[in-house]
Structure 1
Amino acid sequence: MSKEDPKNSTGYERTLTNAHIQLIALGGTIGTGLFLGVGNSIQAAGPSVILIYIIVGIFLFLLMRALGELIVSDLSKHTYIDFIEKYLGNDIGHITGYLYWLSWITLGMAEMTALGIYFQYWFPHLPTWIPGLVTIVALLFINLLSARLFGNLEFSFAIIKIVTIIAFVLLVGFLLIKGDQTNFGPVALDNLVKHGGFFAKGSSGFWSGFQMVIFSFVGVELVGLTAAEAQNPQTTIKKAINEVPLRIILFYVLAIVAILVVIPWNKVATNSSPFVQALGATGIRNAGSIINFVVISAAVSSTNSILYSAGRILFSVSFDGKGKWSQTFGHLRRQLPQNALMLSACLMAIAPIIIVVIGDQAFSFISSTSTSMFLIIWCLMLLTHIAYRKNTAPDQLTEFQMPGFPYLDYATILFFVSMIVLLLILPDNRVSMIAAIVLFAVLAASTKIFRTKQN
C-alpha cells in the first residue's frame, strides 16, 4: 500500500506531467556516457562491449525495480535518501546523502568536461573549460525559475536525443542493406568479428570495458527523484521503470552495433564522439556537424538533469535540520531548493580547474570517480530495499514489487561489489575507487564526531 501526498509535505509543487516524466526517464538514459564514453569502452573491449552493455543493463533494471518499489510504497518521501534513513538509520542516511550529492556533482563535472571536447569539433582552439562554464550558469538560471520549466527543457532535449538515435540506427540499417562504402570500408556486420573476433581484446579487455559502460548508466535512477514533483507518480513512475529494458536495447545496444558496422572497432577514436565519427565517415554532407549539435544538446540535457538532482538531494539531506547549514540549504524558496541549486552549480564549476590541471585525461578521471561513488550508493540502496521488505507486512506491500526477492537483490549487490573489486584491480580506475571509499569513510567519521558533540 502506498502513501500519496498530493500537496507534498516538503513544499514541492507537483508540476511535472506524465509526458515530462516519460521523456525525462527516456532521455535520462542517453548522455555523455553513450555519446562520448562509448569510444573508450570500444577501445578497451572491442566488439564485446555490446555484451557488457547488456549485462550491466540487466542489473541496472533490477536496481530500478527495487528502487521503484520503494518509491511507490511512500510517495511522501522525496528522494531515496529518505528511505535509507528510515530503514538503515539516520547516520547511514546522512552519510549516503552527502556521498550521493557529491556523486551527482562529479557527474556534472564529467558532462561539463565533455562539452569542451564536443565544441572543439568546430572550434579546435577553444579552451575546453569555457563551454561547460557558460552552460552551468545558464542552466542554474533556468532551474531557479521553476521545476516545470526544467521539465519542458528536458522534454525538448529528450525528443532531440531520441529522434537522433532512432534516425542514426535506421540510416545505418539502410546503408547496411545497400552495402555502402565509407572512409573505413564497407558498412558490414563483419566488422563485429573481422578485426580480431568479437572478444578482440581478450578477457582483460572485456573486464576493463565495464567502468565506462557503468558510467553510461549512471543517473538512470533520476526518474525516482522526480516523484516528489510528478502530478501522477503512482502511474508514471511504474511505467517509466518498466520501459528501461527497451531503452537499453534501442539506445545502447542497437546504437553501438550501428557504430561498429560503420567503423571497425580499432578505428574508433576516443577524442570525439563515435557517432560524429560514424556519420562523418558516410560522406553525407554536414552529417558530422548535425550529430555534433545533438551530442552537445545531450550533454547540456544531462547537466540540466544533474543540477536538478543535486539540488534536491542536498535539500533532502538538509531538510528538517536545526543548524545554520540546514536552515540555508534545507528550505525552499518559491517551492524550489534555490540555495541547494546554487551551491551545487558552484561546485560543478570547479570542473574547469580540473581540466586545466589534468588536461586530456580529465574526462576519464572524473567519469571513473563518479562511477566509483555510484557503485557504493547502489549497494546501499539495495540493502535499503531488503530492509524495507523485511520490515513490511505482506499485506502492506505495494503491487509494484521487485521480482525474485530476495535472490535478485543479493545477486545485484554481488555484481556491484564485484565491480568495486574490479575497479580496485584495474590500474586506471584504482585511484578513483580508493578515493570514493576514503570519502565514504571520512563522511562516516565526521558524522560520528558530529553526533557525539550533539550528545
Structure 2
Amino acid sequence: MKEKNANSQSDSGYQRSLTNAHIQLIALGGTIGTGLFLGVGNSIRRAGPSVLLIYLVVGIFLFFLMRALGELIVSDLSKHTYIDFIEKYLGKDVGFITGYLYWFCLITLAMAEMTALGIYFQYWFPHLPTWVPGLITVAVLLFINLLSARLFGNLEFAFAIIKIVTVLAFVVLIAFMLLQGKSTSYGPVSFANLTAHGGFFAKGGIGFLSGFQMVIFSFVGIELLGFTASEAQNPKVTIRKAINEVPVRIILFYVLAIIAILVVIPWDKVSTNSSPFVQTLGATGLHNAGSIINFVVISAAISSTNSVLYSAGRLLFSITFNEKGKWNQTFGHLRRQLPQNSLILSAFMIEFAPLIIIIIGNDAFNFISSTTTSMFLIIWCIMLLSHVAYRKKTPEEELTDFKMPGFPVLDYLTLLFFIAMIVLLLFLPENRIAMIAALAVFVILAIFARIWRKEKTE
C-alpha cells in the first residue's frame, strides 16, 4: 500500500498530521498514567513486593497482544480502528457489540482518570470537592480536541516529556540514595524492604492473585496507539517501532519505578489514598518534592484523559461511519476533518464521573477502575480472536512482514491468560460485581445487536 505524504488525508478523511515524534511520545506517555501513579499503591498493598512479578507477567502478555494488533494495523492502514478488523473477520454483529462496549470502556477509563484527578488536587486543596477538577478538565480538553489533531499531538507530546523525565529522574534519585546508603523518614533506603516485612510474597497466594486487577488497569489503553494510525504521517514505520518498544517501557516505567518506591517505603506503609510517588519523594525530605511530583501526576491524569477522549471520539465515528439512520449520520461524519459530534458526546458521557463520585464517595476510583478492567479483558479477548481469524483467512503470500511471533500458540496462550483473569475477577469478592456488570453489558449489547440486525433485515 502506497504511503501518503504528510499533508494528505487518510482514506477515512482524517488529516495525516501526527509526526513520528508525536507517535513515539504518545506511545511512551501512554504507558504512564493513573494506574501507575495512583493505582500502584492499591496493587502493592494487596500483593506486597510480589506486585513486581505481576507487572512482568501482565506486561509480557500485553506485548503479545500489541504484536497481534500491530499486525492487523499494518495489514490495512485504511481501517479506522480495531472495530473495522473485528467486523471484517468476526462479523458485523460482533463488531457492533465490541464497538459500543469498547466505547463504553474508554468512557469509564476517562472517568477513572477524572476521579484520580480530584484525589490529586486534594493534596493542595483538602476541602475541594473531588469532582470539580475533572469537570473543568474535560471541558478544556474537549475544546482542544475540537481544534485539530495536531494540537492534540502537541499537547500529548508535552505531557509525555513531563511524565517520562519525571519517572526517570525519580528512579535515578532513588538509585543514588540507595548506592549512597541514605535514609528517609521510613528508615534506610534498602533492597531489604522487598523481603523484610513478611517476605516477597507477604500476602500469600490470594494476595498475589488479588493484585492482578489494578495491575491490569495500569495497562488498559495500551492499545490506543492504534487509533493514531489514521492520522500518522508514516504509520508503517512509526507503529512498528512504538509497539516493539513496549517491553522496554514496561521495565523502565513500571518495574524500576515500583522497585524505587519499595526500597524507600515498606510495602505495608504505602498509601492507597494518594500517589505513592508523592509519598516517596515526601519521605526523602527534599524541599517541595511532594508538590513537584503531585503536579506531574496531575499532568499524567490530564494526559491520559486527553488520549482517551481523542480515541473515544474516533471510535464512535468509526462504528457509525457509512451506516444509515439519524444516530449514525449524526456521529459518523467529519467536520473540519475531525469527528466533532462524536467527541462532544464522548466528553458529555465522561462528565457523569462526578455523579458516581457523589454516590459512591471515596471508593469511586476503585469501583470505576475495576469495571474498566473487566470490560477491557473482554475487549482484548475479542481483538485476539479477530487476529486469529485474520491469519486463518489470509493467504501466506498476502501477510504483512510485521507478523505476530509464535502464531498461533502465543495468541491462544494470551487468550487463555485473559480468560483466566476474567474468572479470577469473578472469584474475588472486591471485583465480582464489576466483572458481572461488564458481562451483563456485553450480553445486553448482544441482544440489542440481534434485534437491530433482525429489524434491519426485515
Report the TM-score, using the length of structure 2 for normalisation.
Answer: 0.98
After superposition, residues 12-411 of structure 1 pair within 5 angstroms as: 12-411=14-413
CA offset at residue 4 of structure 1? 5.2
Q: Secondary structure at the match of 1:49?
A: helix
Counterparts of 1:244 and 1:78, CA distance in 2: 22
Secondary structure of 2:436's partner? helix
Separation in 2, partners of 1:454, 1:318? 15
Which residue number corresponds to residue 440 of structure 1?
Answer: 442
How far did residue 281 of structure 1 move? 0.2
TM-superposed CA distance for 1:452, in Å, is 1.0
Distance 2:10 2:272 in 1: 45
1:116–1:129: 8 Å Cα contact kept in structure 2?
yes
Residue type of the partner of 2:447? Answer: A
1:4 & 1:414 partners in 2: Cα distance? 36
Residue 10 of structure 1: aligned partner: 12
Q: Distance in 1 between matches of 2:221 and 2:174?
A: 28
Structure 1 residues 3 and 398 mapped into 2: Cα distance closer, same or farther (>3 Å)? farther
2:9 alignment partner AA? K
Aligned equivalents of 1:332 and 1:163: distance in 2?
A: 36
The ranges of structure 1 where at least 4 consecutive aligned residues each deviate by more than 2 angstroms after the TM superposition are 2-7
CA contact 1:3–1:76 (8 Å) conserved in 2: no
Deviations along 1:177-199, one digit per CA (max 9) or x if unpaired, are 11111111110000000000000
Verify the 8 A CA contact 1:4 1:74 in the aligned structure 2: no
Cα distance in 2 for partners of 1:311, 1:66 equals 24
Q: Does the Cα contact within 8 Å between 1:3 and 1:75 map onto a contact in 2? A: no
Task: Give 1:3 deviation, angstroms.
Answer: 6.8
Aligned-residue CA RMSD (Å) = 0.7
Question: Is the counterpart of residue 430 in structure 1 residue 413 in structure 2?
Answer: no
For the residues of structure 2 that align with 1:58 and 1:178, how far apart are their CA atoms?
A: 33
Provide the C-alpha distance between the structure 2 equivalents of 1:107 and 1:3, rounded to a whole number of angstroms: 35
**What is the rounded CA distance, in whole Å, between the counterparts of 2:340 and 2:110 in structure 1?**
18
Q: Is the 8 A contact 1:71 1:224 kept in 2?
A: yes
CA contact (8 A) 1:116 1:128 kept: yes
Partner Cα distance (2:117, 2:51) in 1: 24
CA drift of 1:451 comes to 1.1
Q: Deviations over 1:132-167 (max 9, x none)?
A: 000000000000000000000000000000000000
Q: How far apart, CA to CA, are the structure 1 residues paired with 2:47 and 2:3?
A: 45
SS of the equivalent of 1:221 reads helix
Measured in 2, the distance between the counterparts of 1:9 and 1:234 equals 15
What letter corresponds to residue 224 of structure 1 in structure 2? G
Q: Which TM-score applies when normalising by structure 1?
A: 0.99
SS at structure 2 position matched to 1:226: helix
Cα distance in 2 for partners of 1:325, 1:113 equals: 30
Contact 1:75–1:228 (CA under 8 A) maintained in structure 2: yes
- Asked if the contact 1:4–1:76 (Cα under 8 Å) also holds between the matched residues in 2, the reply is no
Q: Residue by residue, what CA displacement relative to the aligned partner does 1:4-54 show, whole Å, maximum 9, x if unpaired?
A: 566322110100000000000000010000000000000000000000000
Give the paired residue count: 454
Asked if 1 retains the 8 angstrom alpha-carbon contact of 2:3 and 2:234, the reply is: no
The one-character-per-residue Cα deviations of 1:183-220 (angstroms, maximum 9, x if unpaired) are 11110000000000000000000000000000000000
Distance of 2:212 and 2:257 partners within structure 1: 17
Distance 1:151 1:9 in 2: 20
The question of whether the paired residues in 2 share the 8 Å contact of 1:3 and 1:74 is answered with no
**Residue type of the partner of 2:369?**
S
